Amino acid sequence: MCKTDCRHAPSVTRRFSITDAHRKEIAAIAFGMLLVAGPAVAAAAEVEFADRTAELKLELGGEATCWVDVDNDGWTDLVSSGKVWRNLEGKGFAALGEVANAVSADFDNDGFPDLFSWSHLKLFRNNGGKGFEEFPLPPLPRTVSRGACWGDWNNDGFVDLYLGGYEDWDAGITWPSVWLLNQQGKSFQVGPTDERYRARGVTACDFDNDHDLDVYASNYRLQPNVLWVNDGQGKFTDLAEKHRVLATSEGFGGGHSIGASWGDFDNDGLFDLFAGNFAHQDGRGDQPKSRFYRNLGARQEYTFEDRGPCGVFYQESYASPAAADYDNDGDLDLFFTTVYGVASFGRPNHPVLFRNDGAFVFADATAGAKLAGQGPTYQAAWGDVDNDGDLDLTTAGRLFVNQGTGRHWLKVRLVGNGTRINRSAIGAQVRIRRGEQTLVRQVEAGTGEGNQNDLVLHFGLGDHGEPVTLEITWPNGTQQSVEQVAIDRLHTVTAAP
């Protein structure tokens, strides 16, 4: 059971039996159609963030960061700057161990999340929340990585890994991307490799609702991005061109992509995609810019519509996007880092918080949120550090705590059964109906470039004050509904054996 002292947010743990009657194709739920806007959200004061890094005794650099509850005490911990930082019930942090640049999932299904360091190519097993020890991996192809993600590629109930290979620019080398296949939590097997592209971040999602995880790799050096579509048996085909998510523009083969984020940005129950592009200016004009891709659903074979920047104004050195509903209004917003303090032609670049105003319209909310002027960084990840129901942000070597809006919210912690469903529930999706909208979130282990948001799902509900129904799709396609779920609290749902 998740023991959570949420103060304003009591924890509720539920167990439900799942029978064959619950199994059905998610496409039959008609999430493929576009739903019109839901109830209006009353105006509220602009959300502000407070820098509490020093107060909470954190020592952070600007490296990639991962939110995960490593000791199962109900308080999300932080893996950043070479250390595992244990959250002391929102009052401070204490170093628990040393791991750098990690993504997290429970690879052996023992109930405790483990860590894979993509920069050091090492796997660390969680010792019951008390620390970490290195777990042996098979000999890997020589490679250099800028990001990895977990996912159960073959739906055997154990999470596997995808490791994005990068480059040695001076030597003209493209390092291989590698699939690592989990052998029932006892060992890993090296799977296929690919040496065509220079990945700068990988992230997974079942965007086509066929009950297997697909992988999107953000590639650098004006190379087209890759959408690895899963055939259900753990075999992948690059269908980025077919699904129209190459993240390029006319005159270019691809962009300088540095990370991407999956998320339902228009609340139609389908996962859209934001591709983050670093974009120099050259003789052909600006190189391909960052853009949103809207998922067109089953009727259009889950192809995507290029919606363009949607208000994400041009800066040369964008990198590592991270999506979250920071203002609890029900719309997914976007934080987007930059990696140059001063870009070409003396132009200053700074990370930006973009507020989603609906209908794929995004507005700059950085100054009002007290986040202006942050320095160059690839670090961006969201988690609720103080369990108050709004999301906090790590970026640029700082922890910014959300001061709240008073709007309603809900958090959902999914736990797999450890047999057919991986214990971390990576790949699971939860949908909530709010008026005529459908909000959807997924459990994911990798976003942007090498970062990871918390595994606990967060829904902003705006002014919706009534209980909701959770429509859960577990990674293997098992369907489950949980009715009359009270809001403004955390709920834990565990899949039956």
Encode pLDDT of 33-57 as tens digits: 333 334 444 454 589 999 999 999 9
pLDDT band at 280 (very low <50, low <70, confident <90, very high): confident
Encode pLDDT of 288-317 as tens digits: 899 999 999 999 999 999 999 999 999 999
Residue type, 245: V
Domain residue ranges of the chain, discontinuous segments joined by +: 49-409
Q: Is it the case that residue 285 has pLDDT exceeding 50?
A: yes
Return d(Cα 280, Cα 286) in angstroms, integer.
6
What pLDDT, on the 0 to 100 scale, is given for residue 42? 45
DSSP string covering 168-197, please? ETTTTEEPPEEEEEE-TTS-EEEEEEE-S-
Structure tokens that stand for 180 in this block = 């690592």
Mean pLDDT of the chain: 91
Return d(Cα 290, Cα 352) in angstroms, integer.
13
Structure tokens that stand for 39 in this block = 């109830």
Distances (CA, A) of 479 to 46, 244, 412, 466: 38, 29, 16, 23
What pLDDT, on the 0 to 100 scale, is given for residue 26? 32
DSSP 8-state symbol, 23: B
Q: Residue 214: which residues within 8 A CB-CB, separation 6 or more?
A: 204, 205, 206, 207, 208, 227, 228, 229, 230, 236
Beta bridge partners of 164: 147
Return d(Cα 322, Cα 451) in angstroms, integer.
9
Encode pLDDT of 217-276 as tens digits: 999 998 999 999 999 999 999 999 999 999 988 778 788 899 999 999 999 999 999 999
Q: Residue 402: which residues within 8 A CB-CB, separation 6 or more?
A: 47, 49, 326, 388, 390, 391, 392, 393
49-409: CATH, from 3.30.70.20, 3.30.479.10, 2.130.10.10, 3.30.930.10: 2.130.10.10
